[in-house]
Structure 1
């Protein structure tokens, strides 16, 4: 059984909150049963692929206060399992993205699966996603699907509400683009339950903590954009599936030109 799509009034409220705060946490977008199934698929997929590369940022050591941490990840899970492909075009998801982008047209940028292992799952220091793939109109965002519960002890995402309104910030390129001087007190834990999805703009400052719990934290990140927005330069253009239309159409006809 799937949860119903949201009414136009509900979607309008989500869009207004997204505009004002730079994020919105949508509760129960997936059922707990669906989230559990995706969690099982995600862990099985990582195990089958024998992925042992660790994407932990060098600057994460400071956020982890010197402790050794680790992280598992996988780009473009939809190319390994059709279940993720179906999720990319699920109206429960694309209706919200279309609402917050204020366009019926939704285009994929890329996806990443992240599993923070128990007891030492790596953090991410404060940063915007903008430096990695800047666009002219900043109509780019992210959705984090939670496939299991994500309390603060699991290193949940932390958001600085309203931080998107100040536009692009100067990031330190050492150890991964990050904001070493960003005030930690402005970052609010976005504790979530299995099935919740956190949407935020690529100008919203965010981070995540160390997973110090005895359970893994499993998420799937989907970066989306308005297809009429234009990438500046050629950064991050090699992601598989980039340009795929998830809802609506591409009015520009340039999907394969990035």
Structure 2
């Protein structure tokens, strides 16, 4: 349990900057157990199946596709479910958000050395369909190893979480153009194993490539202050339909087909 004064400071930082870092929520033994669980998950049969809707691939440093994430993950991992619902974390989120938080979604990402990061975006853009106040939504990053700019840690435009930013003229409903924000406000928090990054659904954020010599492994559950039951199930029922309709996650499968057709 975090001290009240420390949590009050975290809450002030969250609403001022759009993010904050919680420390001391997990013990060293718990973090070691989460790491061991990630190793187990990464060795499961079927994860490298191109048509597995739970997995996703990205281009690695040699141009080949590498296994990038498990999404969803909590339903196949009791230890990581325990991490995402840890009493100390849930108590802290309740204080920061001002209400009882329910899990919306959760994914496990492992960014291998040399793998690129993610372009600047706001999570709320993809959650507008929930018809929920963006202040009620946040994402948590449970760091299982040290994370910084070198390893492709998440960067934020500090204090730019007041509104949903418009996309470029050619795609006004898409992700915003980073040129409209002040680059001097960018901060990439340096985090230790076990540190928990919490950020607002409107916080503009991005990540760079992993230029370190170790994978960057993080658990990313998202939460919503709501009285609605079954929010997690509702999210993933919709997500499965979306992925099938838009062929999301099938990039490696299509690349394989293209190579066969051109042979």
TM-score between both structures, scaled by the size of structure 1: 0.76
Encode CA deviations 1:6-47: one digit per residue, 9 max, x unaligned: 133322222111111111011232233322321221132022
**1:1-258 equivalences in 2 (<5 Å):** 5-52=1-48, 53-56=55-58, 70=66, 72-103=68-99, 105-118=100-113, 120-134=114-128, 135-138=131-134, 139-165=136-162, 167-171=163-167, 177-182=174-179, 183=181, 184-228=183-227, 237-239=234-236
For the residues of structure 2 that align with 1:45 and 1:71, how far apart are their CA atoms? 12
Please name the residue that 2:256 is paired with: none
For the residues of structure 1 that align with 2:174 and 2:143, how far apart are their CA atoms? 24
For the residues of structure 2 that align with 1:28 and 1:69, how far apart are their CA atoms? 36
Question: How many residues end up aligned between the 2 structures?
Answer: 221
SS in 2 for 1:136: coil
TM superposition shift of 1:131:
0.9
Which structure 2 residue ranges, 5 or more long, are not aligned? 49-54, 240-263
Structure richer in helix, relative to its length: 2
For the residues of structure 1 that align with 2:197 and 2:116, how far apart are their CA atoms? 19
Please name the residue that 1:246 is paired with: none
Quick check: 1:127–1:179 contact (8 Å CA) kept in 2? yes
Of stretches 136-145 and 180-189 in structure 1, the one that deviates more from structure 2 is: 180-189
TM superposition shift of 1:192:
0.8
Larger radius of gyration: 2
Which structure 1 residue ranges, 5 or more long, are not aligned? 230-235, 243-258
For the residues of structure 1 that align with 2:160 and 2:78, how far apart are their CA atoms? 36
Encode CA deviations 1:34-63: one digit per residue, 9 max, x unaligned: 22321221132022144235454xxx99xx
Q: Post-superposition, which runs of at least 4 consecutive aligned residues in structure 1 deviate over 4 A? A: 67-71
